[in-house]
Amino acid sequence: MAKNRKKNKTIARSIAQERIEYLFGLAKEELSSNPERSARYVSLARKIGMRHRVRIPAELKRSFCRNCGSLLVPGYNSRTRSKNGCVVVTCLNCGSIKRYPFSSSEVE
């Protein structure tokens, strides 16, 4: 029975990963017309990830605000700057700031 339970967990995690990516896609589509719905999709994706212990990929994790939960689109609701070897992303909805280090070799 233990093998069957482990198989079910791996299947559930793979389905959860697909749903997370799908919800982020829906959030990007809905952002311009309905920002509240977009934030709801992001929160659902985060809850699915926590429930099934699935990591959200780095490119998706950097695309939402941890403080207010909104999807971050540069120029629309976020400001992106590079300063002293860091990328500084500011959410224009709540004002929170995220900093990501980068090196010159990553740029090339």
pLDDT digits (tens, 9 = 90+) for 25-81: 999 999 999 999 999 999 999 999 999 999 999 999 999 999 999 999 999 999 999
Residues 6+ apart with CB under 8 A from 98: 62, 65, 66, 88, 89, 90, 91
The domain locations on the chain are 2-107
Question: Look-up: residue for tokens 């010159």?
Answer: 104
Q: Quickly name the fold that domain 2-107 has.
A: 1.20.5
d(CA 8, CA 69): 30
Phi/psi-derived region of residue 96, left when phi > 0, alpha when psi is between -120 and 50, beta in every other case: beta
pTM of the model: 0.83
* Residue 94 φ then ψ, to 5°: -115, -15
